[in-house]
Structure 1
Amino acid sequence: MKLKDVMTTDVECCEPSASAAEIAGKMRDQNVGSIPVCENEKLLGLVSDRDIVIRCVAENAIDASAEHVMSTEMVTGHSDMSAEEASDLMAKHQIRRLPIVEDGRLAGMVALGDLSVTNAADEKAGLSSEEERFALPFYWCNLFSCK
């Protein structure tokens, strides 16, 4: 399955000038752990709940802007990437959210939860195929009296 089939496309972004308090409010309202920072649809960075705790709360700088709080070294994916590739990439870099970028523009986001649904469906499909493979010889033996 491709990421374009499971990614969230209506991603709420913030501008570089947004305050950490505004971003935290967006995270709360949308029940997400990170907000992309974009300018003219171009992904500049990502502000995570951890970024806010470490760079704002711990430093007593809750009014700091997104451009001062965001992480700019990001791992990104593309919409034609397979769910398995994305899962491997996220595990390798120990990240829970993967921005999907097309032509330098943010196209969507994929979270681990999106991939776990895909993996569960793949596993179920795999089990069905395996069950069919083992059931087939028994079916033929019943038909043709194999011993």
Structure 2
Amino acid sequence: MLVKDAMTAGIRIAEPDELLPHAAKKMRTQNIGALPVVEGGRLVGMITDRDIAVRAVGSHKDIPVTKVKEIMSEECIWCAENAQLEDAIRIMEQNQVRRLPVMNDDHRIVGMLSIEDIALFAPVSLVGEVMKAVAIRNRDLLDSEPVTTRSIRQ
């Protein structure tokens, strides 16, 4: 199965100069935890609800005037829409991430692949593997000092 057959299409995005309250409202109304940050049609980062809580609120930023670009992860891991779903799952496992932006051949974002999408479309054994990889990361984060964002470009 290809990633494009399992991903969530028609996703919401944030822009780098967007104010945090606006991005947070999008997350709340769509019941999502992350927004790809797009500028000029290109993926330039990711912002999560955790980024807002830890990097903005936890750092005592002036939330009403803080821009997305001030707290977003500037680099992010992504996968191609024509990649095999199993390959995308391996990327998620290796990088211990819960969601991947999905790009087309022109490097434009066309969707998001989440653990929930994988649970719906992948074999149960693969769902368990990716859940375990993410759970290990989450446990490691709880047991450690704050860490900087780890990311790569595919």
TM-score normalised by length of structure 1? 0.78
May I ask how many residue pairs the two structures share in their alignment? 123
> Following the alignment from structure 2 to structure 1, what is the Cα–Cα distance between the partners of residues 21 and 59?
14
Residue identity in the other structure for 1:9: A
Partner of 1:130: none
Matched, 1:88 2:118: no
Work out which of the two has the higher radius of gyration on C-alpha atoms and give 1 or 2: 1
Structure 1, unmatched stretches of 5+, are: 124-147
* Higher share of residues assigned helix: 1
> Following the alignment from structure 1 to structure 2, what is the Cα–Cα distance between the partners of residues 87 and 120?
11
Choose which of 92, 103, 115 in structure 1 pairs with 2:118.
Answer: 115
How much is the aligned-residue C-alpha RMSD, in angstroms? 1.7
Partner of 2:71: 69
Map 1:17-28 → 2, pairs under 5 A: 17-28=17-28
Partner of 1:49: 49
> Following the alignment from structure 2 to structure 1, what is the Cα–Cα distance between the partners of residues 94 and 51?
20
> Following the alignment from structure 2 to structure 1, what is the Cα–Cα distance between the partners of residues 48 and 38?
14
Identity of aligned residues (%): 34
TM-score normalised by length of structure 2? 0.74
Deviations 1:75-127 (A, max 9, x none): 1100111111111110110100100112221111110110111124799xxxx
